[in-house]
Each structure stands twice: as C-alpha cells, then as structure tokens.
Amino acid sequence: MATIQYNPARTVKAFIRHFKPHSFFADWIIGPVGSGKTTGIFMKLVNLATKQVPSPVDGKRRVRCAIIRNTAPQLTDTTIVSWNIWFKNGEAGTWHATDKRFVLRFSDVEVEVLFRALDTADDVSRVLSLELTFAIFDEFVEIPREIIDAVAARCGRFPSQKDGGATNWGMWGSSNPGNEDDWWHEALEAANKYDEDTTKDTNWTYFEQPGGFADDAENLDNLPGGRGYYTNLAKDHTPHWIKQYIDVEWGYSISGTPVIATFNYDLHVAKKPLAPNPHLPLVGGFDPGMNSAMIFGQMDLHGRLLVYDELIQRDMGAQRFITNRVQPLMRVKYRDYNFTVSPDPASSQRTQTDEKTVLQTIAKHYKVKIADSNNRLPGRIEAIEHFTTRLTDSGPALLIDPQCKGLIRALRSGWRYSKSQKGDTSPEPVKNDWSHPGDGFSYLCKFFYKGIQSEAKRKLPAMRQVANMYNMR
C-alpha cells in the first residue's frame, strides 16, 4: 500500500488512538458535517489492525471488520465512496464487487473489510451471522439498539485461536447528532466522555467534536472556503438543522407540539451555572409517583424564577426518593435553606401500597404547601408562561441552570402533545420520560405564580381607591 499522508484533527486523533487493550470496547464520535469523522473511523481500523498479534502459523496480522450502514444506497453512494478516496483498488488492496468486500493489505497486516447494509431482514440476518474482529457503524444514530447489541456479540470471533485469536475487539462509529428522543442520546449520556475525568462502569466512550462555528472547529483546512464553509452552508437551512448539523446539538422531536411553545432555549437557559441565594426561599416542585421528578428553584428580587437543580427518578417510591435523592442534595448544597415542597395536589390521596399519602410522607421531612387544589393543565401552563413570556429589569423572567438537562429536554419538545396519523393533536400531553420533569416544573411555577397573584389581590383595593380619587377630580 502506498504511504498515506493523514493528519487528523484533535478529537479525531484521540478517537483513533482510543481502545481497551485485550477487552471489548465501543467508541462513538459525533461532529458537524464535514468534520473528518468518517475518515477517522477508517483510520481507527488501520491503527487497531497493526496491534493484532501476528498469527503463529504464518506471521500475518489478520482482522475482519464489517462496515455497516442503514441502507444500500447510503452504503454505496457515501460510505464506499469515502473508503475509496483513501484505499484504492489495486493499490491498497483488492475490491471484490460481488460480495462488497475489500481486502486491505500493508506490511504484515491483512484486513478483510465487509461492507453491509440493513435494508431487509435477510441483510440483518447476514450481518448477525458474521465472525468479526471489529464492527464499524457509519451514521450510527440510524441503527437500532437491537442491531448494535447483536453485532457486539459477533466481535472478537476472528481470527480463530489457531491464528492467535483476537488481540483487541469491539465496535465504533461516527455520526451527526440525532434527536434527543432517540435511544442513542440516553446511551451516550451514560457513556464515558473521553475528555472528562469521570469513569463510569461501561465499555462505551463518547467523543464530541466542536461545532462548525466554534473557535476550535476541526478540519477547516480540508473544507472549501475554510471557516466560511459553515457560514455559506447555514444560509440555505433552518435554525433547527443548523443547530443539529453544524452546532452539534442533539435535535428535538417535531412529531408533536411542545406543551410550552413559548420556551426559548437561547433565552431561558443560562450560559453558566446559577448560584442559589441562601437568604431566599427555596421551593421544590414535585411530581410524585414511581417515576418522579423534583425541580428546585427560587424567585429572586427582580421577579425572575431561577431553576438550579432537578432530580428525576424511575421506579422509586416517595420515601426512597426523599431519603436517597432529596436529602443528600439538601445536605450538600442547600443546608439551612428555607425549603418548601410544592407537590401535585393528588399527592394528598392515599397510595395503593399503604394507607399513607405521599403528602404525609414528604411532610415528615420538609414543609409542604400545595399552591392550588386545581391541578388542571391550563392553569399550570398559564403559570409557566407567566415566566417564559416576560422580561424583567435583569433579563428573562425564567433562567434554568444548564445542568438541568432533563427539564430543558422536556421544555424543548420532550413534554409534548401527541399527533394522530391524521394530524390531530391530543388534548393531554404524552406520558413519557419528559412529562415528569415538565409536571414538576409546572408545580414550581404555580407556587410562585399564585404568590404573585395573591400579592396583586392584596394591592387591588388600594389601587382602586387611588383610581377613584383621580376619577373624582
């Protein structure tokens, strides 16, 4: 194979070099269009092939890899075309068109590369019967979880033990960001991020390139127009597309109408962490149940609702939620704060599991105040929109700490009305993972909104008296 001159960008270089020695690994990189990540997935294969122990039979380093794309047209028109730019038939190896197979050869390395699509059940069946060392997924967000899990079990099966067995094995892929509704978003949030110190108990590692407009945007030297490439590209696309494919922000579902259409990410999400004020009341809006959420916030002296924290939990009753989640947060961050829980009014009803109400369970630990016995959605939306539609002398009346990712996701579109195939919108929001932080936030907003309304009512007689004095003149 002829010598290849290749200088990867910083994130792509880290991605190429990363693997778990003598163990299964799964590495995933996302970035903007044109960022060089597709080339990176090919070069990672070259790098890892050189680390395979030579066969004790003939000294060859043999690996087998499947490069997988969602459809045959995408595979042929995009993935294979990109491969051929770097590894040409007759120079880097031999192309077998009949079975879409390329045998890459260099030095003492022999890599059998199988290009596979997932159009039909037969295609999927053939992929899931392969004996592989590695698997690569081009545009991995288009691949279902079931395929990823099944292919993972096929890695490490080549070469055979008589040829030394697989030294390292695993899978990796590149993609633009998908939608936050996709299972991929949650899976990558749970993965280890390569540039963070936290170590999670998982074989998955997540790499994220800077956005195309970022100061440290990557691969600009290889793009037509350099930095101007993304500026020109953005002219013909929607803001939603730009955020997803240039700014590297996960998109949101457009399959239903958001409950809070007035929420504006750029306006209502703080650019840096918010600092709570120990001298102001702290309130936790609480949506109870086995899947529950509590949203923590304060109203500052400018009339702004500042949201600092969220606790979102699955399969946990009220007592465990308080003991395992709320109390540790209060001890660490909000010790000695004047804290009140504002729950769903339905929490005063007895639970199905015992004779206690959720409200009684909470009241053993914290002050409880139900803002309004009326739990209907329109009233809660009115309370939220009081803050999302107003500006104060210090900026927007709602500001959410960027760490509250569940609430932000809910307000962007996760908490939404469903649409029928006919396009009709349901009167009630979909019950999903995002409806719980949305409901909890509504109880927080209603707590402060009712206080504002009560204050206005107290002032109303005096205001009327002043108005009458002017009218008598």
What is the model's pLDDT at position 326? Answer: 96
Q: How far, CA to CA in Å, does 182 sit from each of 69, 160, 186?
A: 17, 36, 8
HEC sequence for the chain: CCCCCCCCCHHHHHHHHCCCCCCEEEEEEECCCCCCHHHHHHHHHHHHHCCCCCCCCCCCEEEEEEEEECCHHHHHHHHHHHHHHHCCECCCEEEECCCCEEEEEECCEEEEEEEEECCCHHHHHHHCCCCCCEEEEECHHHCCHHHHHHHHCCCCCCCCHHHCCCCCEEEEEEECCCECCCHHHHHHHCCEECCCCCCCCCCEEEEECCCCCCCCCCCHHHCCCCCHHHHHHHCCCCHHHHHHHCCCCCECCCCCCECCCCCCHHHHECCCCCCCCCCCCEEEEEECCCCEEEEEEEECCCCCEEEEEEEEECCCCHHHHHHHHHHHHHHHHCCCCCEEEEECHHHHCECCCCCCEHHHHHHCCCEECCCCCCCCHHHHHHHHHHHHCCEECCEECEEECCCCHHHHHHHHHHCEEEECCCCCEEEEECCCCCHHHHHHHHHHHHHHHHHHHHHHHHHHHHHHHHHHHHHHC
User: Is the per-residue pLDDT at 307 higher than 50?
Assistant: yes
- Contacts by 190-194 with C-beta closer than 8 Å and gap 24+? 191/28, 194/14, 194/15, 194/18
- What pLDDT, on a 0 to 100 scale, did the predictor assign at position 348? 64
Q: What is the pLDDT of residue 451?
A: 83
Output the pLDDT for position 109. 96
Mean pLDDT, residues 77-94 taken together? 95
pLDDT for 467 equals 44
Instruction: Point out the least confidently predicted range of 193-202, 263-272, 273-282, 335-344.
Output: 193-202
* Cβ atoms 287, 347 nearer than 8 A: no
What percentage of the chain reaches a pLDDT higher than 70?
91
> What percentage of the chain exceeds 90 in pLDDT?
70
Picking from 305, 256, 258, the residue whose alpha carbon sits closest to that of residue 285 is 305
For tokens 């399969």, the residue is: 315
pLDDT of res. 339: 97
Q: Are 295 and 444 in contact (CB under 8 A)?
A: yes
What's this model's pTM, rounded to 2 decimal places?
0.68
pLDDT for 117-172, tens place per residue?
A: 998 889 899 999 999 999 999 999 999 999 999 999 999 999 999 989 999 999 99
The tally of CA atoms less than 13 A away on the side-chain side of residue 427 is 3
Res 423: pLDDT:
54
Q: Does residue 241 register a pLDDT over 80?
A: yes
Question: What domains are there in the chain, each with its CATH number?
Answer: 10-233 (3.40.50.300), 265-458 (3.30.420.280)
Structure tokens at 422: 């006919």
350-389: pLDDT as tens digits: 554 444 678 888 999 999 998 777 888 999 999 999 999 9
Average pLDDT over residues 309-324: 92
Per-residue pLDDT band for 431 (boundaries 50, 70, 90) equals confident
The whole-number pLDDT of residue 40 equals 97
Average pLDDT on 72-86 reads: 95
pLDDT at 349 over 70: no
- Report residue 413's pLDDT band, with 50, 70 and 90 as the boundaries: confident
Residue 412 has a pLDDT of 87
Q: Are strands 305-313 and 398-400 parallel, antiparallel or unpaired?
A: parallel
